[in-house]
Amino acid sequence: MGALSHIRVLDLSRVLAGPWCAQNLADLGADVIKVERPDVGDDTRHWGPPFAQNPQGEDTAEAAYFISINRNKRSITVDISTPEGQDIIRKLAAESDVVIENYKVGQLKKYGLDYDSLALLKPDLIYCSVTGFGQTGPYAQRPGYDFIIQGLGGFMSVTGEADDLPGGGPQKAGVAIVDLFTGMYASSAILAAVIHRDRTGTGQYIDMALLDTQIAVMANISSNYLCTGTAPRRWGNAHPNIVPYQTFPTSDGWMIIAVGNDSQFRQFVKAGGQEQLADDVRFADNPSRVAHRSILVPLLTEMTKTKTKNDWITTLEKANVPCGPINDLKEVFANKQVVSRQVELQVPHPTAGTMKLVASPMKLSATPVEVRMPPPTLGQHTDEVLRERLGLSAEAISALRQKHAI
C-alpha cells in the first residue's frame, strides 16, 4: 500500500505540468481521478506519433506522450461547461483531499469551480493552480508555454554553444524542463499542505507558476548574477574554469571528459598516446590549459577520434579519469545499471496488450511505488467513479450521457 493511499486527488489539469504532479502523487499511492473532456480528452492523447502498438504491431489510440504522464490514474469524462458537469466536479471535490488545475487565471471561477467556491463546500481542501505566470502580476492573464518560459526565464541564455563558436546561440532543453520541474515543485507543495492540514485541519491554496519555477531552478546561475550583477554567458558543453571538461567525439559517438586536476589530465592524454601534451608548458596546469583552450581542445579532439566510445570509457575508468558516454535512448535502456534497477516496466493494457513504461525513480522501502494501473483509456472509469464516489445509478449515469455532461 502506497504512502498516500489515504489521499484522494481530483486532477483537472491537462498537458504536462499538472499531470506530472498528479502522477507523482498517484505513484505514491494517491487515488487520482483524471477529469477529461468527453470525446476529446487530454490534448496529449493526440500528440503522436509515436503511439503504443497492440500485439499485432498496429498503432493504438494511446500516444507515447500521454502514456508517460498518466499512469496510476482513473479517467472520467466530464463537460464542465454544463450545469450537470459542474455539479459532478463540486461533489467529487467535496470528498477529495486535493484538486489540481491548470486553466487560465479566472477561467474556473465562471463555473463556480475556483478555490474560493469549492472551499465553501470543503474548508480543508488543498487546491493547486498551475499557470504560466501565476495568479498575480502584469503577465497573469498570459498563456504559459514551456519553450517560451525557457527563453523568458533565462535558461536559454546559458544553454547552447558559445556565441563565438560554430553553431553558437541559444538552445532549448531536449525535454520540457519547466513543465516537469513545476510539476515536481507542485507535488512537494501539495505534500506540505497535506501535512499542514493534518496538523491544523486547515486547507489552503497553492499558486504555482512556470516562470517562478524556471528562475528558481537556475540555482547557482541565478545566484551568480545576484551576487555580481553580471549576466552569465553560454559555454555549450565546456566549463568556463576547467579544461578539458566537456564533450569530445570518438570514432563512433561522443563522450564526456571531466578532468579535475593535472594528474587526471596526464592520464587522459597518456591513454590517447599523447602524453607529451602534459609536458607542454601551455597545458601543464589548469590555468594554462584554460588560457590555451583554443589550441588544446582541437588537439584533444583529434586524439579522441582514434578510439571507439566504449574503448575510451574502459581505458579511462581504469586510469581513474572522470568520463562517461553520451548514450542514445536505445543504449540507455540496454545499460546494465539501468536493467539492474528495473527502470523499464511492462504492464498489461486494455488496448495495447502489454505497455512499456518508465518506472518511478522513487524507491521507498516500506511503501514501495507500484504501477497499479496503466495509463487509462479515455473515460475508462467514468461509470465506476460515478457509482463509487457519488452513488449514481446506471439510469442516472445514462441520463447524464444523454445530456452530454459526461
Say if residue 169 is exposed, middle or buried (CB neighbours under 10 Å; 0-12, 13-18, 19+). Answer: exposed
- pTM (whole model) above 0.85: yes
- What percent of the chain shows pLDDT beyond 70? 100
Residue 233's nearest CA partner among 318, 160, 167, 287 is 160
- 94 alpha-carbon distance from chain centroid: 29
Which candidate in 11, 27, 146, 179 is catalytic?
A: 179
pLDDT digits (tens, 9 = 90+) for 186-195: 999 999 999 9
What integer is the mean pLDDT of 70-80? 97
Cis peptide before 325 (omega within 30 of 0): no
Q: How far is CA 49 from CA 46, 65, 93, 216, in A?
A: 8, 9, 34, 33
Look up residue 358 and give its amino acid. V
Dihedral sign for Cα atoms in the order 336, 342, 347, 351: negative
Locus of grid cell 483531499: 97
179 among known catalytic residues? yes
pLDDT digits (tens, 9 = 90+) for 233-268: 898 999 888 999 999 999 999 999 999 999 999 999
Dihedral sign for Cα atoms in the order 347, 348, 349, 351: positive
Look up residue 120 and give its amino acid. L
The full set of domains in the chain, from first to last, is 8-217+339-402 (3.40.50.10540), 245-249+254-325 (3.30.1540.10)
State how far the Cα of 269 lies from the Cα of 145, in Å rounded to an integer: 45
Residue 100, all three cell numbers: 489540481
163 — pLDDT class (breaks 50, 70, 90)? confident
